[in-house]
Structure 1
Amino acid sequence: MDEIKPDTATALIHHPYQPPGGFVAPQVPVHKASTVIFPNVAALRARDWKSKAGYTYGLHGTPTAYVLEERIATLEGGLQSQLVPSGLAAIALVDLALLKSGDELLIPENAYGPNRELARQELARFGIAHRVYDPMDLASFEAALGPATRLVWLEAPGSVTMEFPDLRALAARARAHGALVALDNTWGAGIAFDAFAVGADISVHALTKYPSGGGDVLMGAVTTRDDALHLRLKGSHMRMGWGVGANDVETVLRSLATLPLRYAAQDAAGRALARWWQAQACIAQVLHPALPGSPGHEHWKALCTRAAGLFSVVFDERVPHERAIAFVDALRLFKLGYSWAGPVSLAVPYDLSLMRPRPAWKGLLVRFSIGLEAVDDLIADCAQALRAAGLDSGLA
C-alpha cells in the first residue's frame, strides 16, 4: 500500500512521537482533558466512569485530579474524596445527593451563612425543609430532631462567632436518630481533629482555604469512608456536571505539602494576637476556641491541641459602631476582605444582630484571619488602628 503523506495540519495533530516513560519529578504532572482517547471500542465500552482504574471523560477525573482526591482523603482520614468547584458547591452536593422532597435537614444557627441560605432559598423550592438549632445546647438539638430529619450539619467552630460545640455528643445523637452527619471541617483542615473519629459520615472541606493557602483558588472536597455513600455523592456529582480545572488542582497540590507548617505558624500567630486583644479595654470578649473563657473552649481542649489562625473580637457595646468601623478602616497590614487562611491577614466587621437569632453580644464584632506576616507587625498594626480610632485609651 502506498504511504500517504499527510498534510502539515494533520501531521501536527496526529504526530506519532510519544515521549519516553519514567519521568519522575517532585510535582504532579498537569493533565488537561475533556476528551479521553480509547485504544478500541471494547475499551471504550468496558471503562466505568465510577472507577479510578481508568479514565472516561475529563469531567470524571484525570491523573492530576485523582492524585489530589487521594491526598485530600488521606488528610481528612477518609477513604474517598470528590472535588467540586468551591466549598459551597461541596455543601450543595451533599444536600442535593442525599435529600428529597419531604426530607428535613438540621443546620446550626452559627453555621456558614450560605449553608443556611442554600436551604432557605433553594432546597425549600424542592420541598426539603430545614430547622436551625443551637449547637451549644444539646437539648435544643434533640428538640430539633424530627421524624423527617435525614441529614444533620455540624460546624466547628461556628462561623464568625467561633463557638466550639461538643461534636461527639451531637454526632452520636444524630446517628442514633438515624440521620447522616455532615461536618464542615474547613477550620480543622484535617489538622486540628479527625472528622470521622468524632462521628461524621461526611467531611466537607473548602480547599479554597488552607489546602490552597494562596487566596487564589476556589475549590471544595467531599470526603467519606463508606463506599455506598461515596457512590451516591459521585452519581450526583456526575449528573450535575461539577468539574474542576487542572491548573487549579495543580495549585492546590503544590500548596498541600506546606499545609501543616502554615497551619502551625498561623495558629501560633493567631493565639499571640488574640491574647494581645484580651488586654485591650475596649473589647468585651475575644472569641478563639483555644483561649479559656471562649464559648466551647472545654470542648476544643478535649478534642484538639491545634487551632486555625482565625478569631474574632467583640467591641464593648459602649463603643459606637462608627468608631469600631473607623478602627477597621485604619488597619494597614490587615486588608478588608472575605475568606481566610491565605498569606495576607484579613479583617471583616460583622453586625451580629443581622446574623444570629439570639446574639450574645451587642457590640460590633471583627473577625481576623491571620496570614504569614510577622506577628509583632500585626500587633503594631492593630495598635495604630486603635489609636487612629481613638480607642487606645479604652472607652474614654
Structure 2
Amino acid sequence: MSTENKETAGRATRLLHAGHEPKVFHGFVNPPIVHASTVLFPNAAAMRERGQAYTYALRGTPTLDALEGALNELEGSAGTVLLPSGLAAVSVPLLAFLSSGDHLLVVDSVYGPTRIFCDGMLRRMGVEVEYFAASLGTGIAARMRPNTRAVFLEAPGSNTFEMLDVKAVAEIAHGANAVVMMDNTWATPLFFRPLEHEVDLSIHALTKYPGGHSDVMLGSVSATREAFPRLRAAQMQMGINAAPDDAYLVFRGLKTMPVRLAHHQAAALDLAHWLEGREGVARVLHPALPSFEGHELWRRQFSGSSGLFSLVLDGGGRAQAEAFLDALELFGLGYSWGGFESLALQPSLSDRTLTPVPAEGPVIRLQVGLEDPEDLRRDLARALEAAANAR
C-alpha cells in the first residue's frame, strides 16, 4: 500500500496490509515461518560490524519482524517486543524500568498474576509497591514520591471493569518523572490506543483477541521512541523472545481480529442488556452500559468494547455460583478469554485491598464468543434458573 493510501485508509484496512510486503517474498501474502538460531555472515568484517539485517535469531527474524511491524502499525508505536506470554509482557517492562529502592504505583483492580509478580518478585528485589483505587483519578498526585519510577494501569479493571482517566493519570505521572505502563488487553488497539493518551508502554496478552483461537501463548509490549531502547535492552539482557510458530499464528489472527471483535462486541452488548432486566441478576458490570458507574469515562476514551464482562448474582454464595456455572452448556468453564468460544468463571477478588467487591452476590465473568447470541441467551437463562433453585 502506498504511503498516501495508508494515511487515508481505515484501521482495519491498514492492519490487513501491515507487517509483511508480499513483493519481498515471491508474492506470498503471509510471511515465512523462519526457524532459526544461527545466522551466517559473508565475511569477518560483516560479522565484527554486524552489518546485516539479521545477526542471531534472538535479536529477530523475518517472522518476528512481520508481527512487530503489524503491532507498531496498530499501536502507533516506535517499537514492539514479543514475549512468550501476556504475563511476560507485564514482567519485562517492570523489570526494565525498576530498581531496588524505587516506588511503583499499581491500580488496585489489576490482573491477578500481575499483582502476584509485584508482591512477589518486585518486593523481593526491594521495589516499594503501592496500590491505588481507579476511582482516585487525579488524586494520584498525592501518592507520587521522589522515588516513584513507574505507574502501572489497567483499564477497564480486571474482572470488575473499573474505569479511570488514563491521560490525566499519565500526565501526573510524567510530571513526577515516572514512566507509565498500561495493560490494554481488554480493548485491543482497535478500541483504545494507550500511546495516544500519554502512556509510554502498551502491554497486550496476544493470547487473547489477536490470537483469537485459544491455541497460542504470546505477549507484546509496544513503546514510544523514548522508552523503546531501554525495553529492548532489558529483553536482550534476559534473553527472552517469541517462538516463530506462535508469532505466525498471532500475525494471521490479527488479520481477522476486526471482524471477530465486531461480533464479540455486538453479542456481548446484546447479552449484557438482556441480563440487566433478568430476575436473579443484581448488576451487570460492562463499561459500555449507560448504567455502569464508569460509563462516561469509557465513552470519552474508548471507541468500542470487547466480549468480556461480568454479572453479579442477586444473593447467594458459592453454592449459587457453582449451580450457575454447572448448568451452562455452551459457555465452557475455563481461564483465559478472547478466543472463538464462550467461557465463564467465578473470579477470585480476595486480593483487592482498595476496590470494593460487589456485595449483592457472587460475580460471574463471561467471555462471549462467536456463537449465535440467541443460543447463548438460552444457556444463561438455564444457568440463572439453576442458581435460583440452589437457594
| Length-normalised TM-score, structure 1 | 0.89
Using the alignment, how far apart are the partners of 1:22 and 1:232 within structure 2?
32
Using the alignment, how far apart are the partners of 1:124 and 1:234 within structure 2?
23
Q: Is the 8 A contact 1:80 1:230 kept in 2?
A: yes
Using the alignment, how far apart are the partners of 2:138 and 2:231 within structure 1?
31
Using the alignment, how far apart are the partners of 2:85 and 2:320 within structure 1?
35
Alignment partner, residue 129 of structure 1: 128
Identical-pair percentage: 42
The CA deviation at 1:202 is: 0.8
Structure 2: which amino acid aligns with 1:116?
R
Using the alignment, how far apart are the partners of 2:163 and 2:137 within structure 1?
13
Q: Is the 8 A contact 1:119 1:129 kept in 2?
A: no
Q: Is the 8 A contact 1:106 1:149 kept in 2?
A: yes
The CA deviation at 1:144 is: 2.1
Q: Does 1:38 align with 2:35?
A: no
Alignment partner, residue 31 of structure 2: 28
Q: Is the 8 A contact 1:102 1:129 kept in 2?
A: yes
Taking structure 1 as reference, are residues 161 and 206 closer, same or farther at Cα in structure 2, changes over 3 Å only? same
SS at match of 2:299: helix
Structure 2: which amino acid aligns with 1:200?
V
In structure 1, the gaps of 5 or more residues are 1-20
Alignment partner, residue 10 of structure 1: none
- Aligned residue among 345, 348, 370 for 2:345: 348
Using the alignment, how far apart are the partners of 1:212 and 1:139 within structure 2?
35
The CA deviation at 1:170 is: 1.1
Using the alignment, how far apart are the partners of 1:100 and 1:68 within structure 2?
30
Using the alignment, how far apart are the partners of 2:144 and 2:64 within structure 1?
37
The CA deviation at 1:324 is: 2.2
Structure 2: which amino acid aligns with 1:337?
G
The CA deviation at 1:326 is: 0.5
The CA deviation at 1:353 is: 4.1
The CA deviation at 1:44 is: 1.1
Using the alignment, how far apart are the partners of 1:352 and 1:44 within structure 2?
53
SS at match of 1:191: helix
- Aligned residue among 379, 383, 386 for 2:384: 386
Taking structure 1 as reference, are residues 44 and 287 closer, same or farther at Cα in structure 2, changes over 3 Å only? same
Q: Is the 8 A contact 1:210 1:263 kept in 2?
A: yes
The CA deviation at 1:321 is: 2.8
When structure 1 is superposed on structure 2, of 233-242 and 355-364 the one drifting more is 355-364
Can you list the C-alpha shifts for 1:136-165, whole angstroms capped at 9, x where unaligned? Answer: 122652332212110001111000001111
Larger Rg: 1
CA RMSD of aligned residues (A): 1.7
Alignment partner, residue 333 of structure 1: 330
Can you list the C-alpha shifts for 1:254-303, whole angstroms capped at 9, x where unaligned? Answer: 11101111111100000001111101121111000100121311001111
Structure 2: which amino acid aligns with 1:26?
V
Q: Is the 8 A contact 2:203 2:221 kept in 1?
A: yes
Structure 1: which amino acid aligns with 2:307?
G
The CA deviation at 1:382 is: 0.6
Alignment partner, residue 277 of structure 1: 275
Using the alignment, how far apart are the partners of 2:284 and 2:357 within structure 1?
13
SS at match of 1:275: helix
| Length-normalised TM-score, structure 2 | 0.90
Alignment partner, residue 235 of structure 1: 233
Can you list the C-alpha shifts for 1:212-234, whole angstroms capped at 9, x where unaligned? Answer: 001111111111121x4211111
The CA deviation at 1:387 is: 2.3
Alignment partner, residue 76 of structure 1: 75
Q: Is the 8 A contact 1:34 1:59 kept in 2?
A: yes
Using the alignment, how far apart are the partners of 1:114 and 1:61 within structure 2?
28
- Aligned residue among 263, 266, 269 for 1:268: 266
When the two structures are aligned, how many residues end up with a matched partner? 367
Structure 1: which amino acid aligns with 2:65?
Y
Structure 2: which amino acid aligns with 1:255?
G
Using the alignment, how far apart are the partners of 1:356 and 1:278 within structure 2?
28
Using the alignment, how far apart are the partners of 2:102 and 2:68 within structure 1?
30
In structure 2, the gaps of 5 or more residues are 1-23
Structure 1: which amino acid aligns with 2:319?
E
Can you list the C-alpha shifts for 1:5-48, whole angstroms capped at 9, x where unaligned? Answer: xxxxxxxxxxxxxxxx8621121111110111111111111116
Taking structure 1 as reference, are residues 356 and 365 closer, same or farther at Cα in structure 2, changes over 3 Å only? farther
Structure 1: which amino acid aligns with 2:322?
I
Taking structure 1 as reference, are residues 139 and 234 closer, same or farther at Cα in structure 2, changes over 3 Å only? closer
Q: Does 1:259 align with 2:257?
A: yes
The structure that is helix-richer by fraction is 2
- Aligned residue among 294, 302, 320 for 1:304: 302
Q: Is the 8 A contact 2:108 2:355 kept in 1?
A: no
Q: Is the 8 A contact 1:104 1:130 kept in 2?
A: yes
SS at match of 2:180: strand
Can you list the C-alpha shifts for 1:296-354, whole angstroms capped at 9, x where unaligned? Answer: 110011112310111000112x3243022111111010001111110010001024345
